[in-house]
Structures are given as C-alpha cells and as structure tokens.
Amino acid sequence: MANPLAGEVAIWLDGRRHVCRLTLGALAELEAALETGGLIDLVERFETGRFATRDVLALVVAGLRGGGWQGDASELATAEIRGGPMQAARIAAELLARAFSVPG
C-alpha cells in the first residue's frame, strides 16, 4: 500500500503494482530530464493545466525511480498503465502535490 504521508503514489504497470515517490535524488533526475524550466515551472504547468505528455512521462519515471524501479522512460513509454494516459497524468500531479506539501 502506498503511504501518502511519505509522498507515495501507487501505479499499475503491465499488471504489476509499483510505488512512486519523489525522493531528493528522483527530483534531481527529474530536473535534469526537463526540457524547459525547472521544478517551479513544472509545478506551474500542472497547476494551470498546461503540462505536456513529456512532463507526465518524466514525473512518473522519476517517481518510479524514487520508489526503487530500475526501468527508464523507454520502458514506461511502452508499458500498459492501468487507467491509461489520464491516470498517468493524475499520478504525476499527485506526486508533485505530495512532494511539495506538508502532511496534515
């Protein structure tokens, strides 16, 4: 089970459940992978609904890597995500929200 207080979000890839978490290392990888701007720009894109598919892909890969997954973007791009692209976008947004908010 994913622990939201630890910033974790669950995702199902090819029928297997994985835990995503944006650790400091995962955030550093994410920032390096971003084509435009930094993390603040990424947050703003999600807040305004102006994010791109590459943003979702980069965020989910970073979250998976923070959760211990050893794959890369090309593996995620060909994986079957339960819930499809919309679920991937929801997971990406949730990862951002949990990484940059104080647990209540």
Print pLDDT tens along the chain (104 aa). Answer: 778 878 899 999 999 999 999 999 999 888 888 877 788 899 899 999 999 999 999 999 999 999 999 999 999 999 999 999 999 999 999 999 998 877 66
Q: Burial, 30: exposed, middle or buried (Cβ in 10 Å; 0-12, 13-18, 19+)? A: buried
Domain ranges of the chain: 4-99
Tell me the chain's radius of gyration from C-alpha atoms.
12
Q: What global pTM score does this model have?
A: 0.90
Are 60 and 91 spatial neighbours (Cβ–Cβ below 8 Å)?
yes
44 Cβ contact partners less than 8 Å away, ≥ 6 residues apart: 50
pLDDT in tens, 46-72: 999 999 999 999 999 999 999 999 999
